[in-house]
Amino acid sequence: MIVYHNARCSKSREACALLNEAGHTYEVVDYLKNPLSELELTELIKKLGIEPYDLIRKGEQVYKKNYSDKNANRVNWIKAMVKYPILMERPIVVSGDKAVIGRPPTLVLDL
């Protein structure tokens, strides 16, 4: 398992705690310090089974300032998340070819 994690996010910390309690082993990726490439993000979105826009955190200041009034296409939303990884929802847990956004955090146990 891989957890795309932001240590400042309570939901992300809670998801990791749930995985620990359930005895799962996983790799933590701090996606803010180690941003995903366009290819990695495209693959992650495919595993999530969502559109790129659905992975965007619309409450983030960078979204409100730069993107809230734009109707970007899939590629441009991916480019925005690569440039500003803070735009990505979190936590994201990947297991094999499946992934889930941990909102609520208990969803991570579905994998």
Confidence of residue 68 (pLDDT cuts 50, 70, 90): confident
What pLDDT digit, counting tens, does each position of 8-17 carry?
A: 999 999 999 9
DSSP-assigned letter for residue 56: B
Active site residues: 9
pLDDT tens digits along 69-104: 777 899 999 999 999 999 999 999 999 999 999 999
Distance CA 33, CA 93 (A): 17
Mean pLDDT of 26-31: 97
93 forms beta bridges with 3, 100
For residue 4, what is the DSSP state? E
Domains of the chain by start residue, with CATH? 2-110 (3.40.30.10)
